[in-house]
Structure 1
Amino acid sequence: MNIQPKTLISTSEVAALADVDISTVSNWRKRFVSDFPSAQLTDDHGKRPKFDRAEVLSWLDANPRLGGQRSNSDRAGSELLDALRNYFPPFEAIDLIGRLLVVAEEGRRRYALAGHLTSDQIRQAISEPDDVILRRSSQHI
């Protein structure tokens, strides 16, 4: 059984995920005490809390009006990055995601150039969104 460790993030990282400023995250913690993810860890003085990234993402998805809207590609990219970070340093994981998207784009171009495909097959291959590709990739990790 492969149990993945929790990824803890700071208040500023929560703000970046939600596309808001840090004071907004502080306000959420006060206003939504009952359902905002609780701090998993703090420093010695009870400051600089850390939150479970998966819980934060789930909370943001359940409360879409509060933060900046995350696209399906952003969400799928985050899921794939979370899966990869257990195996690679962050910079390598991001590089792999970039390479995956380049390969996907190249595949789209090749489908478009292939004369033996029907127009529906070409249209489907070209229009497959990046989030579908990223999600499919994270399922195989």
Structure 2
Amino acid sequence: MSDIATFARVKRPVVSTWRRRHPDFPAAVSANSGRPLFDGAQVTDWLIATGLGNAAPQELRSELALFGIIALRNRFTPWQLVETLGSLLCLRRLDGRPLADDGANASPTSPPDAEADEALWSALLRRAERIDAEDDFVLRELRAIDATAAPLARLAEDLVESAYDERGAYEWLLAARSRLGLDSLAADAVTPELRSLLTQLTDLGVRLERGESLTLADPHVRVGDLLAALLDDAEDRDRVTVLAADPDDRLTRITRRRFLLAGVSELDLDVQTGSDLEERFADPYLAGPDGPAPSSD
């Protein structure tokens, strides 16, 4: 019930009140150490149907998928969850078709079916080997894990359905980095105030409307929060080039997937592993705090 309170963005006693006053409140399906446990999908449908709580329907469905992901922390490390799910979302975008095409439409909480999971994971690996033969985005992460990760493919589909596209799903996932246990990544998160300041200062939307082509760069990109915030302000990303670098290879791959899903073309995207940013594509118009000065006013 405390999870439901978090889910619906209300105080814990409110859930007790709902359960007492509403006969149609979902019944508990089991118990854990005396605590009633509920079916997340039933609770989500009830909250949407009644309009109770303080979370929008889209947020509820995304939260339901995130709760399912968090529940798998006893089977996968936080890094495995973020890297594998991110790679699956990126594979889905690169290949242009759902993961469900390979049988991912079973419920991620259904009883394990080793044979079906093995078939699904083998099919996903074949897709990754075909679409990412040079291992720029997803191949090594998917090869590093076995068919026990098949439920993650189903959860990735749930995230996409609730967030409308792969980009929204990935942003939901990265926003939950602290809840997943990735405190080191949470420490690098950009505050809303800084995001707002940067977007106002750069005014990318207006510059793109004038027909300008822009290059953004960050020599210490981490998981790309700063540049992702700027890209949020740019509807026409066909004229945006992104240069970035970070010493941590795991972070550069997370960031590379993030910008690809944000709509930056592979040809206009260069996320390098290292401490020095090589400006191979173009002179940056806007750079991170340690990067070169803007090339125009």
TM-score, L = length of structure 1: 0.52
Distance 1:90 1:110 in 2: 29
Is 1:67 the counterpart of 2:53? The answer is yes
Distance 1:43 1:84 in 2: 17
CA separation of 1:73 and 1:30: change in aligned 2, threshold 3 A: closer
C-alpha distance after superposition, 1:68-118 (max 9, x if no partner): 1236255235336637967x537343554566525243343524986xxxx
Distance 1:68 1:30 in 2: 19
Q: Show the 5 A alignment for 1:1-141.
A: 11-33=1-23, 35-42=24-31, 47-64=34-51, 66-70=52-56, 72=58, 75-76=61-62, 78-79=64-65, 82=68, 89=76, 91=78, 92-94=80-82, 96-97=84-85, 100=89, 101=170, 103-111=257-265
CA separation of 1:25 and 1:107: change in aligned 2, threshold 3 A: closer
Amino acid at match of 1:32: H
CA separation of 1:113 and 1:16: change in aligned 2, threshold 3 A: same
Alignment RMSD = 3.6
TM-score, L = length of structure 2: 0.27
CA separation of 1:97 and 1:111: change in aligned 2, threshold 3 A: same
Consecutive unaligned residues of structure 2, counting only runs of 5 or more, are 90-169, 171-254, 269-297
Q: Which protein has greater RCO, CA pairs closer than 8 Å, 6+ apart?
A: 1
Amino acid at match of 1:110: V
CA separation of 1:61 and 1:113: change in aligned 2, threshold 3 A: farther
Instruction: Using the TM superposition, give the Cα deviation of residue 63 of structure 1 relative to its aligned residue in structure 2, in angstroms.
Output: 1.9
Q: Which has the larger radius of gyration?
A: 2
Counterpart residue number, 2:182: none
Distance 2:61 2:48 in 1: 9
Instruction: Using the TM superposition, give the Cα deviation of residue 52 of structure 1 relative to its aligned residue in structure 2, in angstroms.
Output: 1.1
Paired residues of 2:7 and 2:63 also in contact (CA < 8 A)? no
CA separation of 1:108 and 1:89: change in aligned 2, threshold 3 A: same
The structure where strand makes up a greater share of residues is: 2
Paired residues of 1:81 and 1:94 also in contact (CA < 8 A)? no
Instruction: Using the TM superposition, give the Cα deviation of residue 40 of structure 1 relative to its aligned residue in structure 2, in angstroms.
Output: 1.6
